[in-house]
Structure 1
């Protein structure tokens, strides 16, 4: 049962693995050396005939200097980019009053953006 779930959430893992390796100009052998994985196993991962354990996934992510979510999820499926994550972590350490001020600023900015977007859409619809 858990294998089926693992298969579902790693459907594009082979493509992401190969693309990231090529983007870094690494051969399969170079990646296996960095990740500590046998070459034949890496070929199976990229071919989609085998899936890495969590330990191997971690080793591959470390070899690429990325988080595992880069290997597992599309960009739109992942959380905020690194820059925002650092800011969110810093904000979470502020006191409650300071966090509320920041929440209000964010909410106001998002509301302004949505109003502008809806206004532009209404203007475009009026021109047609």
Structure 2
């Protein structure tokens, strides 16, 4: 039997504001930058962005307890065709080498196939973060 998504369970953790509150709460654990300083290592800075990761929505054929986006069959949020086109325009920038498609189950979004075809026409790599079902 499939479990319910956090949203369907009416969990406080389904609320992005609650997630941010938890993430922004100061913990006893030093930050990554603080750990680097402690080890006398330089702070890391991005020099390029090679991968464009797109979350195509929360629709999924499974409900996994470990899912970090709370995807499931009861979630209907998906990326629109218009937004997908805007993303493809951004992906045409020559710095991008990889289109990383995630979700939910990204292949359940009607825009999935056109995104993959467009990326491959640009001779770019595509990652499909699917659940293999």
TM class, shorter-chain normalised?
under 0.3
Q: Which gives a bigger RCO, structure 1 or 2 (Cα 8 Å, sep 6+)? A: 2
Q: Please identify which structure carries the higher strand content.
A: 2
TM-score, length of structure 1 as denominator length: 0.24
TM-score, length of structure 2 as denominator length: 0.24
The structure whose Rg is larger is 1
